[in-house]
Amino acid sequence: MMTNPGRINDGLSNKQSRQRRRILVSALVGSIVIAVIALGLGMQRDSGAALAEESPVALNGSDCCKTTYRRVGCRASYKKKGPLRRLFASCSRRRKCCLTKVAEDPYAWKSLFDGKTLDGWKVPNFGGEGEVLIEDGAIVMETGSYMTGITWKGEPPRENYELELEGMRLQGSDFFCTTTFPVGDKTCSFVVGGWGGTVTGLSNVDFYDAVDNLTTDFIEFKDKQWYRVRIRVTKDYVRTWIGDRRMVNQEREGHTFGIRDEVYLCQPLGISTWDTTGAVRNIRIRLIDPDAEEPEEDETNP
């Protein structure tokens, strides 16, 4: 049988052309995929760099979206799209994912004691002070001659804030967690268990101390029992509680606030004992909304 060489050659040429086209298309698709992957990695690095400028949050993997930043659209489904469209969508969303910041609550409690160290605190040199130790998640201020205490190194708020801690008298018969705190541009102290172990109140108000002004009150404190102490300072009032019992409700207008000389080194924020071993824990502070209404408080015993 005779064959037509021209038709065979033409058939081979067409087949080879189709193969070449397939190779070229595959190479082109591969180049596009590599370029898109490189683009996505570059965007991820850019996102990480931008995030690093704003926050110390770790940038490894999904850590960039922890705590301070949240994911936006990172888990959207692209199953119905082709692989290239899915890749493009993933790369375009990665930057948005890690740069959307979660608004922090400005009125959230902030701890001032980690339960393990005195980080953030210093021990004032009163002269004759006892040792300050960390025991069982609490700061223990041993009996001195006469003052022992701690002072916060940072700058606390001076208006519209609330301070809370738990205090315990371990040994002795005088105040065991008297707290000095800011009141505007002044400081004041909430005495807990002074003058023989029972007096509570503010020192000083209008130059009178806690045993001799309108905030004077009395509690029979028990040794080795925790008492929750809360201090609230607003533009109008200084209020304090022990447990659920409100101890002080002192108006600020028309009154002068101050401290006794003994607690001078506890300013602007500190806790001290007098000839007594005391312990404190769960020390925390928060800002309060100046426009928020104060809730009704129980007047029950602590």
pLDDT at 2 over 60: no
pLDDT at 63 over 50: no
pLDDT at 232 over 90: yes
pLDDT at 288 over 90: yes
Report the DSSP beta bridge partners of residue 230.
164, 241
Mean pLDDT for all residues in the chain:
81
Model pLDDT, residue 188 = 98
Q: Domain 110-287 belongs to what topology?
A: Jelly Rolls (2.60.120)
Share of the chain above pLDDT 70, in %: 68
pLDDT in tens, 130-169: 999 999 999 999 999 999 999 999 999 999 999 999 999 9
Dihedral angle sign, alpha carbons of residues 64, 108, 234, 270: negative
Does residue 263 contact residue 163 with C-beta atoms inside 8 Å?
no
Identify which of 140, 139, 141, 137 has the alpha carbon closest to the alpha carbon of residue 115: 137
Out of 7-16, 20-29, 258-267, least confident range = 7-16
Q: Where are the alpha helices (DSSP H) in the chain?
A: 5-54, 83-98
- Kindly report the number of other CB atoms within 10 A of residue 138's CB atom: 21
Better pLDDT: 171 or 51: 171
Report, as an integer, the average pLDDT of 186-200.
Answer: 97
Residue type (1 letter), 163 = L
Report, as an integer, the average pLDDT of 275-280.
Answer: 98
Model pLDDT, residue 58 = 39
pLDDT at 267 over 90: yes
Better pLDDT: 94 or 52: 94
- Which residues, at least 6 apart from 59, have a Cβ–Cβ distance to it below 8 Å? 48, 51, 52
Report, as an integer, the average pLDDT of 55-84.
Answer: 46
Out of 39-43, 170-174, 282-286, least confident range = 39-43
What residue spans define the domains of the chain? 5-98, 110-287
